[in-house]
Amino acid sequence: MLLQRMIVSLLLAGLVGAGALAGEHDAAAAVDAGKTIPEPLHFESDGSVRIDGKTIDYTATAGTLVMKNDDGEPIAHFGYTAYEKKGGDPAKRPILFAYNGGPGSASMWLHMGILGPKRTVVEDVSFNTKGPFERVDNEYSVLDRADLVMIDPVGTGFSRAVGEASGEDFWGVDNDIESVANFIARYLSEHGRWASPKYLLGESYGGIRSGGVAYELLTKHTISLDGVILVSPYMDFIAGNNGAENDLANVNTFTTFAATAWYHEAIDDRPEDLEAFLAEAEAFAHDSYAPVLLKGSRATAEERSEVLAGLERFTGINADYWDRANLRMDESRFAKEVLRDRRKTVGRIDSRFAGDAINHIAETFRYDPFFPAIGPAFVATFNDYYREELGVKTDRRYVTSAGLYRDWDWRHEQPGAWGKQPVSNTAVDLAYAMAQNPNMRVLVQQGYFDLATPYGATEYVIAHMDLPESARANLVLKHYEAGHMMYVHPESMARFKADLGAFIDD
């Protein structure tokens, strides 16, 4: 029953990484219905992009790679978009494999947001819903440092199960890890990149994927990675899901509540220094809030009163509301309550965004203002770029967000554990990979205003990874004054690229 309630809470919260545009789940399932194996897609084109004053000429390949089972039977067409610098030495040029999360999100968001040679133009914290929609050369692309392969897992983009396989064969924590690792190994063979320095970059649920893929590549394929980049990572179901009557997640989410209230000026005596304010909020969460949650009804009236005063001080939501909520609030309820007096709802993916509320007496939000604010611009510019500039001529629909979490098998077989655990935590896998590959480094990029994967949960997961001290030195955490997709914030976009570039160069 507890697991069922946790899953239901996750579904209601809509944890779909960097995108969940409604209504596309049925389309993802429909592509698996037929047994006819279509021809794989393959389109090549040339392009160039100017980065940091230098022109990078590249070959772009968009298509699907046929994946087969051990009997040589096709089981999937795995979609990808690759960019390779012309004249680069494949043995020395780094290659970065990147994907979004969901589960069920295509790589469009990272592709057009920060990594690829073109990026979508959006006005930060505004509703970008009026055309014409614009894309520009991306001066923050990673192509000056590495070749790039954007991956769309099965059920997203143009990726689909084929033959006797079905989508359910790929839709689970362990199935997904295995299929993505197999794709990477196959791509290295197909394109002669075995000697290249190799990197993974995953956003949101891409954190769960990356922890598992890093370990799977090392132990099943004997492929060592130079680095793993975790962008707004979701890695531990327990640490970050505060809708499951789970006190740990309530503590880990609290500092993002405080950051959101600070941003929207919803608190009294608001200080100018965000980081100093968050340091105070963290101290309160760990030293006062957590012990009272742990004590439950055993907490004294004085202890409870002190905590209620702190909850009001840091979030702007009055102590009486917190008291009636029994000191606990999930992100959907908070997003609705923090600006209720203004009749506004804040975003879950990026709580800097705010939109008009629907139903002003509702207890939880009905939509995340972030998605309608940026989604139309991303979808329009990506499809225009993909079909017109890259020349992908097909009548297939590129599925941006399939919502596969509804059908996902969340169980995971951790290294060192007997059998599958009921919920996933691939920070364990990542720790095993780091211990066995002492040269592998990890960069974590996390926004303060992210209610989907709160930075407190990310810090908790990192701090509790069982690592040798030498391996811990290989792990770097960077914060940004933005949300889940911090690259829609202009200042954070520049910092994101600088941090990523320095990491690859190191």
The tens digit of pLDDT for each residue in 159-216 reads 999 999 999 999 999 999 999 999 999 999 999 999 999 999 999 999 999 999 999 9
pTM of the model: 0.92
The CATH number of 2-238+375-505 is which of 3.90.226.10, 3.40.190.10, 3.90.76.10, 3.40.50.1820?
3.40.50.1820
Say what the pLDDT of residue 243 is.
73
Q: Which among 270, 252, 452, 268 is positioned nearest to 353, based on CA atoms?
A: 452
| ω into 132 cis (within 30 of 0) | yes
For the chain, the helix, strand and coil percentages under 3-state DSSP, each to the nearest 5:
40, 20, 40
Q: What are the domain boundaries of the chain?
A: 2-238+375-505, 239-370
The pLDDT value given to residue 35? 66
Secondary structure of 104-170 as H, E, C letters: CECCHHHHHHHHCCEEECCCCCCCCCCCCCCEEECCCCHHHCCEEEEEECCCCECCEECCCCCHHHC
The answer to whether the beta carbons of residues 348 and 368 sit under 8 Å apart is yes
How far the first Cα of the chain sits from its last, in Å, is 48
pLDDT for 38 equals: 86
Low-confidence ranges of the chain (pLDDT < 50): 1-34
Q: How many helices (H) and strands (E) does the chain have?
A: 17, 14
The amino acid at residue 26 is: D
- DSSP per-residue string spanning 326-378: TT---HHHHHHHTTGGGTEEE-SS-TT-EEE-SSTT-SS-SS-THHHHHHHHH
For residue 369, cis peptide bond before it (omega within 30 degrees of 0): no
Q: What is the Cα gyration radius of the chain?
A: 22
Which of 232, 271, 196, 265 has the alpha carbon at shortest distance from 483? Answer: 232
Supply 162's token pair: 């084929």
